[in-house]
Structure 1
Amino acid sequence: MNKIRKGDQVIVLTGRDKGKRGTVASRVDADHIVVDGVNVVKKHVKPNPMKGTTGGVVDKTMPIHQSNVAIYNGATGKADRVGFKLLDDGKKVRVYKSSGEEIKA
């Protein structure tokens, strides 16, 4: 079970985009995630008439390592760590470490 999932609000802890907040768009692999509006680079694209794409310089969101982001806690307005708790019915849920409150996804 991943601590950070698609659709979570995260805040960047290190790097060029430190302090930025965004939503996780996708998981690339076990360690990397794509966050909307974070780690945006200029990419030079060749035109491809077969696919109908024009060439030029486009903005592309690149993956970022999940260790460089933390989940955003809306109640406190700060970054928070994620823990796991087993409920009485046997379900495993994610919780904020600071408050123990369940993360609504």
Structure 2
Amino acid sequence: MVKPYYDVKLGKTYHAQGFVNIGVSASRYLPNEDRDEITIDVADFRKLKGHFDRTTNRNRTPRVFGGTQLRDWFNLNFQMGEYLRVIFASPTEIRLEKRDDK
């Protein structure tokens, strides 16, 4: 079964701070609670403990925080402007991988 996903273009802020904004079209895949914990599976490499909130963005879409480990993973694996695929494995786990543009 194909899991729902959302593609994010990574810019300077993502590379500097280690978070991901989830857009309106995909926000329904995460719980409505604020500041919930979430597991972040980074391309089957390792799992990080993170959290998300719905108060940082004015439109109440989730921002997933992965801290310095996520920031470092972005910097090692992505160039500015490349796309990250966020796959919603469950309401409490997301999987991150580089979008295959081939």
Q: Which has the larger radius of gyration?
A: 1
Same fold, judged at TM 0.5 (above): no
TM-score, normalization by structure 1 = 0.29
Higher strand share: 1
Q: By percentage of residues, which structure has more helix?
A: 2
